[in-house]
A = this chain, B = another copy of it.
Amino acid sequence: MRTRRGESPLAILAGKYLNLNEDERELLGSLDNQPRRIARNSEVVREGRAADNLFVVQSGWLLSYTIMPDGRRQVLQVHLPGDIIGFCDMPLPSFTYELKSLTDCSLCMLTHGHIQDIFHKTPRLTGFLLSLMMVDQKTHTDRLRVLGRMNARDRVIHFLLSTLVRLRMIDQAEGNIFDFPMTQFDLADAVGLTNVSVSNALSSLQEQGALKRSTGKMQILDEAYMREAVSFINRFESIDISWFPYLPPAKDK
C-alpha cells in the first residue's frame, strides 16, 4: 500500500470524490501493486488480443487508437495517470484497438478478478469506478460534438482544455502549465485533422497570445477565451457518486 503522500493517481482521483476508509484504501491500493515499466513508444496491446485484463496507469501517457484501411490513424483516447484502460472491454472477447506508450510508463495489470473483488466488497468504490466510466462516456460524446461540428482551431482548443482539466484532477498541472509529450501528428489523429492543420492552429493560437509552447511543455495563457470558444464543460466538476446504491454506510465521513 501507498502512503498518503505520494499517493497513486487513482487514489488522488478517488480522494476528490470520497473520503476513503482503511478497507477501501487498501482495496484501491491493490489495484496499484507491482507496476510494470513500459518504455516510451512501445506497443502495449495489439488489436485482437484477448481482453482478459485491464491496466491502471501509474505514470506516463499512452494512446489508444485504430488504424484505418488506408493507414491513417484515429486516436480514440489519450490515457493519463489514474486512467483505467480496458474497463469497457470487459464484456468483449478481445481488444479492438491498439495501445501505445507515448512516454515511459508505469502500468499495473489487473484481472477481471480484481474488479470483481471491488464489486463484491465495496459498493462505494464500485460506484466510484462506474461513475468514472460514465464520465468517460460523457467526454466521448463531447468529442463527438467536437469531431462532428468544430473547425480545426476549435478542435485543438477543446483538446488542450480537456487535457488540462484532466491533468489538474491528478495534480499534474502547475497552474496552466503542463507536460505535453504528444507530437502534432498525435494531436492531429486525436482530433481528426492533419499535422499541418494542427501546426497552423497552434501557431495561430500562440500568435494571438492564447497559449505558449516550449519543448515538451504547454501553457494555456487565455483559458477563459478558450473555454468560451468551444463552450467547454468540465465533466469532472460535477460528478456525484451517491447515485450508486450501497448497503453499509461508510465508516468515516
Tell me the A residues contacting B by CB distance below 8 Å.
Answer: 66, 68-69, 72-74, 76-77, 87-93, 96-97, 112, 116, 119-120, 130-131, 133-138, 140-141, 143-145, 147-150, 189, 191-192, 231, 233, 235, 238-241, 243-245, 247
Check A134–B90 contact: CB distance below 8 A: yes
Known: A137-B133, A140-B141. A149 touches B74 (CB 8 A): yes
List 4 other contacts, CB 8 Å, given A91-B239, A137-B140: A68-B150, A93-B240, A116-B244, A133-B133
Known: A131-B91, A137-B137. A144 touches B74 (CB 8 A): yes
Residues of B within 8 A of A96 (CB): 138, 233
Q: How far is the CB of A56 from chain B (nearest CB, A)?
A: 17
Q: How far is the CB of A52 from chain B (nearest CB, A)?
A: 9
Q: List 16 A-B contacts (CB under 8 A).
A: A66-B145, A68-B150, A69-B231, A72-B149, A74-B144, A74-B148, A76-B141, A91-B241, A120-B247, A130-B130, A133-B134, A136-B137, A137-B140, A140-B140, A144-B147, A148-B189
In the bound assembly, the distance between CA atoms of A74 and B149 in angstroms comes to: 7
Check B140–A144 contact: CB distance below 8 A: yes
Residues of B within 8 A of A116 (CB): 243-245
In the bound assembly, the distance between CA atoms of A147 and B68 in angstroms comes to: 12
Check A145–B240 contact: CB distance below 8 A: no
In the bound assembly, the distance between CA atoms of A135 and B232 in angstroms comes to: 26
Residues of B within 8 A of A133 (CB): 133-134, 137
Q: In this complex, what residue of B is CB-closest to A189?
A: B148
Check A92–B148 contact: CB distance below 8 A: no
Residues of B within 8 A of A189 (CB): 148
Check A120–B245 contact: CB distance below 8 A: yes
Q: Which of B87, B91, B149 contacts A240 (CB 8 A)?
A: B91
In the bound assembly, the distance between CA atoms of A112 and B150 in angstroms comes to: 34
In the bound assembly, the distance between CA atoms of A91 and B235 in angstroms comes to: 10
Shortest 5 CB-CB contacts between residues of A and residues of B: A148-B192, A116-B245, A147-B147, A91-B131, A90-B243
Check A138–B90 contact: CB distance below 8 A: no
Known: A144-B147, A148-B192, A149-B192. A137 touches B88 (CB 8 A): yes
Q: How far is the CB of A69 from chain B (nearest CB, A)?
A: 6
Q: In this complex, what residue of B is CB-closest to A132?
A: B91
Known: A74-B144, A134-B88. A93 touches B245 (CB 8 A): no
